[in-house]
Structure formats: structure tokens, C-alpha cells
A and B are shown apart, each in its own frame.
Chain A
Amino acid sequence: MRWISTAVLLVVAAACNENTGPQGTAEPLALIRPQQAPDMSALSRALPGFGGLFVDHGVPTVYLTDLGQRGLAERLLGGFARARGATGIRVLAGRFAYRDLDKWFQDVSNEVFAQGRVVFVDLDEAQNRVLVGVERGASHANVRALAARLGVPDEAIAVRDAEPIHYMATLRDQVRPVVAGLQINFGNFLCSIGFNATSGGQASFVTASHCTNRQGGVEGTQYFQPLASTANSFIGTEVADPKYFRGAGCPKGRKCRFSDASRAAYAAGVPFALGGIAATSGPNNGSIDITGTIAITAEGDAVVGDVVNKIGRTTGWTQGTVSATCVNTGVSGTNIVQLCQTFVDAGVGGGDSGSDVFALAGGSATLLGDLWGGNSAGTMFVYSPIANIESELGPLTTF
């Protein structure tokens, strides 16, 4: 036998490959390409009285202001209909020609956003109208008055209430009010928020103890959400992180705690939602896009076989089965043993430390603890039970 020294060199590199894509080229008339959606402008030129095209329950349906053009419409759109599995097209009597609607759409679009609280402007092919969506409570009459000034017939415009459309935020974006599962930054490290809490009336959040400047002991770690480099991102300061102890049930030569958890006090004026967890679209799909929130309505514990969840900034929402409870867990590369921890067969990745762990029932969450670690394959995570956390950080109000 002999020692083999295995040196492995890992080089991190990045390459920027700018692909500008094909230059714009003139498309031939889409009318002759049955697999593609017809070009509305081309149809408008080729079909007198064309007022719009849409598919109604699988049947291509066309508005015509001149129903005498039905035959031409069937010839032009027959291939498109057959390609979609329809035997033919349906013709409806339209009030307005597409070319007029298109002009009114452009005119209204150019002007109406200046009124504010306008969500969208659409040439609604299915209604043979220009459709304007405004936020609930915004004036419909003002939109109609503007359309009239622009020469748009009142019958050609429809106005309806619409939900405002926002950029979709991710777990790594700046999100207010602050909720569990979001990315936090301290120093040159990234972790996740475990859950919001109040302690003796102090507005706080809990994350992992190792997500502080020093694991165990209070150093006043400053946290930013999502990054220190982002404007107005300072959210709070570490205020509780008990030191690790030796003896008293801690294995020889090791130092221990019952939770890898710390508490930070929110800075004044930082909005947060007590009991709120950022929700993505579902478990185990890899998404980190926020689609809503989950409300914590209880605290609890889990037993082997229970299905539990976590949401964190790296792997998003993962869900799996508890495989072991109250495990004294040695932390790789350290002399730390975390006492009485829970193992879960579910995905985890670097940056998920601190994440909320919860059980779901009927859309509401029972808070179980905070995630702090996992195996190297990213298939198993470990969390500190909420009872352990509160035994070390003190009583917390978490919802």
C-alpha cells in the first residue's frame, strides 16, 4: 500500500457568447402557411372587410364587415383551419374593419397610458373592438372621452377593470414586506430567511446561526435583502445567537447546540409579514419565482414519515419525507454537533441555509423549524425543530 496524492484542480471560468440571432427578413404572406397563425395585416389587405380572426373552441372564426367575402375567406383560411383539425371556418358579421381597429389601437395606445392606471391596450380580435384594461376604480369614462377625441367610434372601444401586472419577483429579488424564504446577504455570504417573529415585542427574523459573522455568539451581523449592493436593502441586525457549549450531553471533544438558529432585529421601518412565507408555484419544480404567500397558522413538530416542505433562495420549494428525528448530527468540516435534529429526504442547495421548514394542510402552514444543512448530493436536508429554536432563542411569536 502506498499513499496516493490526488490533486484536483478546479478552474472556474466564464465565457460570453453574444448571439445576435438572425437579422430580420421579410416573411412571405402567412396566408399560405397553414401551420402558422395568419398575418393579420396581410389578411386585411387580401380580404376586403376583414375584421379580425380568432379561434373559438377549435374553430377559426373570422369577422367580416362584408359577408359577401365569405367565399374568399374560406379559400384563404381553409388550410389554416384544416391544420388545426377544423373542417372549415366560421364567419361573423363585424362592425369594424381590422385596418381601422389597428389604427385606433395605435392612436389610443399612444395616448391613454398618460392618464395613469392603465393596465393594457389590446386590439381584441375576438370582440372586433379595441379593449382597454384599467385598474379597478380608474375612470372608464375618461378612456372613452379620450377615444372620442381621437375619432374612435364609441362602439369600437371597450373598457374593463383589470388586475395590475407586475414583474414576477424571485426569492432572490428585493421583496417587501419581507417574508420567509427570501435571500439575505451578510458579508460575502448568502442565506435564506427562516421566518419572521417577535420576541418581547421586538420585530425580528430567524435564520441559521452559521448565517452570522460567527456561528454562536452575537456580533451584530448586519443583513441585507437581497444584497448589500442593492439600494435600501439593509433590513436588520443580529441580536440573539447563543454560544455553543461543551459537556452536558455534548460528545467529547465537540461543541453543541440544539439549534442552528439566530435572531436578527428588523431595522426601523422595514416592512415584514409575520407568518408569511414566500410561495413559488409548487414543490420540487425548481422554480424560484414568487407566486404568492403561504400563511403560518401554527407551530408543530414532525415524526418519521411526515411530508414536510422548505422554501429557500437556491432550490425554491422542496418537499419530502422525514427520514429521522432527534438525530445528533456532526457538521462536516467542524467540531460542531447539532443535537436532536430532523432529517428530510428533499432537495437542498448552497444558500438555502436558514430556510423555513413547514408542514402544509389546507393551504396553511405549520412551522416546524429552520433548515441549516444537507448532504453533498443535495437530496437530503437537516433542520432544527422549532421547539429547539425557542428553547435557545427564547419564546417567539411566529404568526
Chain B
Amino acid sequence: MEAHFLGRTIVFDIVIARDDGTIAWRRLEKGVGPSILQVRMLKPGEVLEWRDTWLARQPADYRAQGILPSDATEPLRTPWVNFTVTP
């Protein structure tokens, strides 16, 4: 399967939202990146994984979503994942 990704190094975004829907953190909130498109052939069953770290400022319930821009009209999005930050 041919997959298209943004960037020479694949660009991904992570959004952390609070319970009320406000955004606590967005990995790509600011900044300007090159608009180059990378073409990758994925093997059947191949999984790609991206990680980043976010420093929580307050204990609370949050949810996170991963976003993968490409040349499609809408980027790929993971389902929201709920998690809790304890004091």
C-alpha cells in the first residue's frame, strides 16, 4: 500500500484536550514546516509509530489524539484516548 506523509522527517501532531474540550497542548501548535510529501510503501501489517512527551501542568483528566497530515483533504486521526494525571 502506498502511503503519503508530510515532511522529509514524517510530521505528526498530538493534541491533548481537557475535559471541557479546551486544548492543553498541541505538538504542532506553532511553527512552519516544509510542505514536502514523502511516499512510503507499507507492507501488509506494517505498523508505524510516533512518540512525543508532554509535561502536564495540572493534575486532571485529559484525552489525547494523534494526527498524521498527508496530501489528503483530511489528515488521519487516531481515536481519542482518555487518561488521568495524578498529583
Interface residues of A (CB under 8 A from B): 1-12, 14, 185, 188-191, 208, 210-211, 260, 286, 312, 314, 329-333, 348-353, 371-376, 378, 380-382
Q: How long is the Cα–Cα vector from A4 to B48 in the complex, in angstroms?
A: 22
Bound-complex Cα distance A332 to B32 (A) = 5
Given contacts A12-B42, A350-B35, A382-B32, is CB(A189)–CB(B65) below 8 Å?
no
In the bound complex, residues from chain B placing their C-beta under 8 Å from that of A2 are 56, 85-86
- Render B40-78 as a binary contact track against A, CB cut-off 8 A, 1 for contact: 101000011111111111000000111011110100101
A350 and B6 contact, CB distance less than 8 A: yes
Q: For the side of the interface on B, what is the size category?
A: 35 or more
**A residues less than 8 Å from B32 (CB atoms):** 329-332, 373-375, 380, 382
Q: Which residues of B contact A314 (CB under 8 A)?
A: 35, 37, 71
Which residue of A9, A10, A210, A329 contacts B36 across the interface (Cβ within 8 Å)?
A: A210
Question: Which of B37, B38, B39: most chain A Cβ within 10 A?
Answer: B37
Cβ < 8 Å to A, chain B residues 1-57: 1, 3-9, 11-14, 16, 28-40, 42, 47-57
Closest beta carbon of chain B to A3's beta carbon, Å: 6
A333's partner among B16, B33, B70, B86 (CB-CB below 8 A) is: B33
Nearest Cβ on chain A to B3's Cβ, whole angstroms = 5
A382 CB, min distance to chain B CBs, angstroms? 5
Q: What residue of chain A has the Cβ atom nearest to residue B33's Cβ?
A: A332
- Most chain A CB neighbours (cut-off 10 Å) among B9, B34, B56: B34
| Complex partner residue of A4 from B6, B55, B65, B76, CB under 8 angstroms | B55
In the complex, the answer to whether A350 meets B16 with C-beta atoms within 8 Å is no
CB distance from B50 to the nearest CB of A (A): 6
Q: How many A-B residue pairs have CB under 8 A?
A: 156
CA distance A355 to B1 in the complex (A): 27
Which 7 pairs, one residue from A and one from B, show the smallest C-beta to C-beta distance?
A8-B66, A351-B37, A350-B6, A376-B28, A332-B31, A332-B33, A190-B37
Question: In whole angstroms, how far apart are the Cα atoms of A374 and B5 in the complex?
Answer: 15
| Complex CA–CA separation, A123 to B70 (angstroms) | 46
Query: How far does the alpha carbon of A286 sit from the alpha carbon of B73 in the complex, in Å?
Result: 9
CB distance from A338 to the nearest CB of B (A): 9
What residues of A have a CB within 8 angstroms of the CB of B66 in the complex? Answer: 8-10
CB-based contact B11/A333 at 8 Å: yes
Chain B positions within 8 Å of A351 at CB level:
4, 35-37, 71
A208–B34 CA distance with the chains assembled, in angstroms? 9
Question: In angstroms, how far is the closest chain B Cβ from the Cβ of A155?
Answer: 53
**Which B residues lie within 8 Å of A260 (CB)?**
34
Q: A6-B53, A9-B78, A376-B13 are in contact. Are A332 and B36 (CB under 8 A)?
A: no
6 further interface pairs, Cβ-Cβ under 8 Å (given A373-B34, A374-B35): A3-B53, A6-B52, A208-B36, A350-B7, A350-B38, A351-B35
The CA of A1 and the CA of B54, in the complex, are separated in Å by 12
Given known A-B contacts A351-B71, A376-B28, A6 and B54 have beta carbons under 8 A apart = yes
- Pick from B36, B50, B57, B73: contact of A189, CB under 8 Å: B36
The CA-CA distance from A190 to B51 in the complex, in Å, is 25
Q: Quick check: A381 and B50 within 8 Å, CB to CB?
A: no
Q: A314-B71, A373-B32 are in contact. Are A333 and B55 (CB under 8 A)?
A: no
A5:B38 contact, CB within 8 angstroms: no
